[in-house]
Structure 1
Amino acid sequence: MNRFIVLTCFILATGGHLAAQNVIARQGRVAFFSYTPVENIKAENNQVLSIVDLSDGRIAVSMLMNAFVFEKALMREHFNESYVESDIYPEATFEGTIVDFDPLEGERTRIIEGDFTMRGVTKALEIKAKINKIDGNYVLSGSFEAMVEDYEIKIPPLLAGNIAKVISVDFRFEYEPYKE
């Protein structure tokens, strides 16, 4: 439902002529990794929605937090209930612009500037990303680091050694032309 709302807002903001100027990734991938001396924590979400306006490089991303898959069920439970509180904050979003985006170029590296919102906290991010144009479709991939404390994630002192302070986040979106 929330992903639908974000996409609808983006369509309205583009003036309704979305199909001719935009590409969409309906099953983008976002993964994170946290190294600790006790146990590495990694999870992957393959249900991430993203759309790019080819006319100006604007990008929007929406992901459901409870769609992350972990190696262990207990990790997923702790992640959703104790850390990101996905029942209260069900999704994370990113809205920004690909700097100097040219939809006609082939492979290139660009900076994406925008705002990432998780747990109701919004932080400005600058992300280095690789863009490939293959047969009229686009692939966008990259990585960034997120500080746990920036998003007001509370870690009990007893578990502080088990959770990294910095989380590595990787993403990959395969876009195709948007069709209504």
Structure 2
Amino acid sequence: MKHISIILLAWMSLFQTGQGLYMCKNAEISLFSSAPIEDIAAKTSSGQSVYNSGTGDLVFSVAINTFKFPKSLMQEHFNSDYLESDKYPHATFKGKIQEHPDLTKNGTYPITVTGVLDVHNVKQNRTIPGTLTVNNGTITMKSEFMVKCVDHHIDIPRLVFHNIAESIKMNVTATYTAAK
């Protein structure tokens, strides 16, 4: 967790200081894989993010080993066999929101974020749709998108190929407060 905070602080130092900088220290991220034998689901509330409303820059980081599964064996295989969290401890996203929503007005705005998703030490250019909601000064971003295992060199052994889908559905919800 300390490593993630250092990463985000480093990113913050690159951003303009003052008004327009928002932080989230407890983004909720879930993953879901539907497969014929058994569905796989996991959640974490440990995602961290920084958003600069002046530039549109958006950065996310999550420690892989913070995802919790309903079955401990699933969690063990996820960390050791598939995501190799000892070797690749974090997933990150660095991008830019293309739209410029008016953060002074309550409402829900469609957004598109373009950037680089780094999972399993494999970087992929991505365009991810989402929503940004403003409610009395509180900013919440939500997104649902798919991640293909093959795109990030996550190998699925043939023996368990029917247990795990080739694409994993990701849901992200982050609520931001102004940085001080």
State how far apart, in whole Å, the 1-side matches of 2:12 and 2:141 are.
20
Stretches (4+) displaced over 3 A:
none
Q: Return the letter of the residue paired with 1:53.
A: N
Q: Percent identity?
A: 28
- Tell me, yes or no, if the aligned pair for 2:24 and 2:49 is still in contact at 8 Å: yes
Matched, 1:149 2:156: no
SS at match of 2:96: strand
For normalisation by structure 2, the TM-score amounts to: 0.94
Structure 2 match to 1:174 = 175
SS at match of 2:112: strand
Structure 2 match to 1:163 = 164
Structure 1 match to 2:138 = 137
The alpha-carbon deviation at position 104 of structure 1 amounts to 3.5
Matched, 1:95 2:85: no
Structure 2 match to 1:85 = 84
State how far apart, in whole Å, the 2-side matches of 1:126 and 1:155 are.
25
The alpha-carbon deviation at position 54 of structure 1 amounts to 1.2
What is the aligned length? 177
Structure 1 match to 2:61 = 62
State how far apart, in whole Å, the 2-side matches of 1:25 and 1:4 are.
11
Q: Which runs of 5+ in 1 are unaligned?
A: none
The alpha-carbon deviation at position 57 of structure 1 amounts to 1.1
For normalisation by structure 1, the TM-score amounts to: 0.94
Alpha-carbon RMSD across the aligned residues, in angstroms, is: 1.1
- Tell me, yes or no, if the aligned pair for 2:12 and 2:50 is still in contact at 8 Å: no
SS at match of 2:54: coil
Structure 2 match to 1:20 = 19
Q: Which runs of 5+ in 2 are unaligned?
A: none
State how far apart, in whole Å, the 1-side matches of 2:153 and 2:69 are.
22
